[in-house]
Structure 1
Amino acid sequence: MATKFQYRKITGVFRAMDVDGDGYLTESDFEALASRWAAIQGQPKGRIYSIMMNWWATLLTADRDGDERVTLDDVMVIVDRLNEMPHAMATTALSMFDAVDANGDGLISAREYNQMIVGWTGVPTDTDDVFDELDGDDDGYLSRTEFGELWAEFWSGDDQRASGSLVFGRIDVPAR
């Protein structure tokens, strides 16, 4: 079962993904996220759309009542099982890395990271301080390995001080 801190992190991401604010994740939310993110990157939405729709398909497996709307509690069912699915988490991390790495150079820059956060939230956000915390080796980039470790820490970690807790930026939501 997720801790209070994990629940707060996931709630923040859930709210960002719930583009229409109706309290559910739907296919149209993921289509809107893909369109917004692709526009920010100045790229066709094809690659990002594919990645986002694959993520939607995964989340849809948690839709317990079959209404094609995923609740926060449905997402938490998946989160509670992530430690049993390291391959799935690693695969998702690599897919997200590819989506964030807009120029395809195998590294995520501070600018690309910012585009991801703005793509998720739809709000212009200064992320330089967060990126500096994520960039553990201070080389100005996130490698695939760094991103994968940060991604895993975000989704399954419970350490509020861990850099991975910031993968989706500083999302401040009230405790449950």
Structure 2
Amino acid sequence: QHCMALLIVAACSSYIVGAMHLSLQRPPRCAPAVLILSPADESRIHREADIFFESIDDNGDGCISFVELSSHLESLGYGSGGIDHIFDLLDVNRDGEISAEELRESFIKFEDPALRVALGLGETEADTIFNSIDTNGDGEISTEELRQYLEKNGYPGDELVDSVFSALDKNSDGAISREELHEGYTSYSALRRILAASPMKLLQLD
């Protein structure tokens, strides 16, 4: 009986180990999609990240501090909320600094206009949108200008206009400045989707 018990234990152990081996080999059912880049694309994105890193790392210590990134983003007109959000995105390991490798990783992970907008690399999509909404060119967006823009892009309705306007008008002065649009566009993906494209364009992208 003792020998039989040992055989049963051995058989069960073998089955469990085999099952574990198979489960480790089997991909998860809902594995997230992986962005596959060509070596040329990856090299290009890494170069962009490295150039930006060198321009922000003022003291040359090999890391971007919160102060260094804040100084850059403040010069672009971003407020504290947008700066905190961007720093959190880039500081992957949450050690309070952004390494060159973390910046490369973030440039790969967030390969969309939002990060370029946030970091002020080239002509920003937020600026283009601001200029499109500010039809009278006075440097501010009024409720009526936002309403006309949203209706033109297929988003009618006072409730949506009021919600978007309130989200962007951070200082509640009744107008949206270029800086406020920058900060809101960077911080909230829902606002980017509403401001950047019409519903039909979004359906085509999906």
Alignment TM-score, normalising by the size of structure 2: 0.35
Compare CA radii of gyration and give the structure with the larger one.
Answer: 2
Relative contact order (alpha carbons < 8 A, sep ≥ 6): 1 or 2 greater?
Answer: 1
Report the structure, 1 or 2, having the larger helix content: 2
